[in-house]
Structure 1
Amino acid sequence: MAGLADPVRVLAEIDQGATLVLQGLHRYWPPVVRFCRDLELALGHPCQANAYLTPPGSQGFTPHTDAHDVFVLQAFGSKTWQVWPGPQDRDGNGAEHEILDVELEPGAALYLPTGTHHAASTQQALSGHLTIGVQQTTWRKAMQRVLEQLLDDPALDAPLPVGFPRGPESLAQLTRVHLERLETQLRAVDAGNVVADLADTFFTSRAPALRGALVDRRRLPEMTDDDRLRRRPGAVCEIRGGDPVRLLLGDRELRVPGWLEPAVREMSSRHTFALRELAVHLDATSRLVLAGRLVREGLLEVLGE
């Protein structure tokens, strides 16, 4: 098997002062998975997590910046952070503030906005902390989505006129025609549709939360009206009404008939429920079929009787 860490070599590197970096904890360590999922759903921006374990008297990285916002959460030990002032950190006379020296103890947090110059080092003990990165969806990215859709016009695939480098005036006239056309199209863009597209993309591009899904699938053939189910921790479910109803399930979109909307809303909103409690919305066969589908899609998990 290739690509595996060698524990002996890892420990030897740490003994020599290296920092151990555990990347992508938001994908596989359950407590951090749940934390990052709750955080990104609250913020509306994707979140990620790495862990850093630094031996005594060492520095993990030289001074650097990150291209996203960072929250540093100190778990154990302590670490000294140097934080350089950014362009916005100036007093009324335009003078920069001094470099900050911050000592983080267990339970403390430090916020580093995008582009903040920083470095950290340990003193007398092993230090461990999490960095929570917030990958912001910026206005630039939002506007790029709109422009990319407009620029998908096949008419723009036509080549520039032959000899265009030697005819700048005629080319400028043609360019104005295209710009005016784009301006007209841009003015016709519905801002509500732009927002809806951004939201739908966010709610269908999250990492799936499927821990225990194989066990749930094994239980489906024996599931009865007396079984209790619950919404899987970390599962996303945004409901877009209509016919069909669109369920945005974090990493996918599921469409179901419109008459199922009341049952789906109750299933997604309740912490736990017995399948028979849906009798007000569905007959026995229908609620078994719908519950089974939502279990397979990762929204629900089976608790048993």
Structure 2
Amino acid sequence: MALRAPAFRVVKGGVTLDPSTCARRARIGSRTVTDLIDVGRVYAHFGDGATIVLQGLHRYWSPVAEMCRDLEEELTHPIQANAYITPPVAQGLRVHADRHDVFALQTHGRKQWVVYEGDQQPGPDGADGTPSLDVQLQPRDCLYLPKGVHHAARTVDSASIHLTLGARTVTWGDVLADIVEGSGADPSLQEALPAGFARNPEALAAEGRRRLQEAADRLRAADVADAIARVARGFWTGRVPALRGQLRQLLVAGDVDDRTVVRRRPHSSCAVSRHGDALEVVLGDRTLRMPASAEPALRMALDLSELTPADLSDHLDEASRATLVRRLVREGLFMAVDG
């Protein structure tokens, strides 16, 4: 698979090299693209001391994608992955802080890391700070860097490969933003400011305080549980489904009967909630709706690692349970097992 920018970049001394210095033109179908990775030029930059950065590995490299999905399932926070390949005696990025939590996993060689206390502003060369941690990572070592903590890493006598797992944590600020967004629909907040307000904004201060107090009262009365549920749903609906081998499953789904063995697809995502007489099943990029009567059978299927439709006989008749399992196979949540 040939990468296209920005899935790769090349960095040296804290500066990202112009993509044109490591990319080439090519025709894909009827279009000409200019951002296709030029492997030879990228290797040449590496030989000159540059770091190769592979971005978004969680999207296209199965081993990393599966690890990230498992970690997401456990944390229920989105996870992204990048790889950094640095030659000996070199530094890719200078001192910086990320806007998300980072787990740095050393996989090859050694790398020297310096980490500064959270409130320090050490500058890009670290001259204005004192490291609180100066450590060399070996293969299988892991370093946790909370968001906002300044850090830098460089190689000494060996090349290095490390993987970063970035946790884009869902925050209480996201919950508050959801509540505020809902409150913003209040008609009183859609009223225009008076004509000519910009010439004397101070005259509106008292009215502004009154309206702010009313908005604060509405925020205090908001249903926080509903807001958290909406934010949680945003996590589940934002996950890309794992559908490796799904073409074959689509071909055999119609043959599922009471004796067909099916298995939960590894790394698949599923969130089930009930709304009155309907069941909502979120599978990442799509949402299924089923009658609430299917809930006991569905939850039993999710609890089992492997089953046949006949195993659901306590909850559904033969035709209904076959229909349910066929749909779960078609949607990629379960897979029919060979043999």
TM-score normalised to the size of structure 2?
A: 0.81
Q: 1:170/1:236 Cα in 2 relative to 1: closer, same or farther (>3 Å)? A: same
Count of residues in correspondence between the two structures = 299
Q: Larger deviation: 60-69 or 284-293?
A: 284-293
Q: CA deviation at 1:207?
A: 2.1
* Matched-pair contact (CA < 8 Å) for 2:88–2:160: yes
Q: Secondary structure at the match of 1:86?
A: coil
1:25 aligned onto 2:68: no
CA distance in 2, matches of 1:98, 1:20: 26
1:228 has 2:230 as partner: no
Q: Distance in 2 between matches of 1:119 and 1:276?
A: 57
Is 1:227–1:304's contact at 8 Å kept on the other side of the alignment? no
Q: In the alignment, what sits opposite 2:4?
A: none
Higher relative contact order (CA 8 A, sep 6+): 1
Aligned counterparts, 1:170-181, within 5 A:
171-181=204-214
Is the alpha carbon distance of 1:4 and 1:227 closer, same or farther for their aligned partners in structure 2, counting shifts above 3 Å? farther
Check 1:24–1:167 CA distance in 2 against 1; reply closer, same or farther (3 A cut): closer
- C-alpha distance in structure 2 between counterparts of 1:298 and 1:16, whole Å: 46
Residue pair 1:205, 1:252 contacting (<8 A) in 2 also? no
Query: Is residue 2:326 matched to residue 1:292?
Result: yes
- SS of the residue 1:119 aligns to: strand
Report whether the alignment pairs 1:149 with 2:156: no
Q: Which moved more, 1:105-114 or 1:185-194?
A: 185-194
Question: Which shifted more, 264-273 or 240-249?
Answer: 240-249
> Are the counterparts in 1 of residues 238 and 285 from structure 2 also a CA contact under 8 Å?
yes
Equivalent residue for 1:132? 165
Seq. identity, %: 45
Paired residue for 2:123?
none
Q: 1:162 to 1:211 in 2, by over 3 A?
A: same
SS across alignment from 2:179: helix
Identify unmatched segments of 5+ residues in structure 2.
Answer: 1-27, 121-128
Are residues 1:213 and 2:213 paired?
Answer: no
CA distance in 1, matches of 2:200, 2:214: 22
> Do residues 189 (structure 1) and 228 (structure 2) align?
no
Between 171-180 and 114-123, report the one with greater CA deviation.
Answer: 171-180
> Which consecutive residues of structure 1, in runs of 5 or more, have no partner in the other structure?
89-95
Residue among 218, 234, 259 paired with 1:201: 234
Partner Cα separation in structure 2 for residue 102 and residue 176 of structure 1: 52
Q: Work out the CA distance in 1 between the residues paired with 2:211 and 2:170.
A: 29
**Separation of aligned partners in 2, 1:172 and 1:239:** 47
Normalising by structure 1, we get a TM-score of 0.90
The aligned counterpart of 1:11 is 43
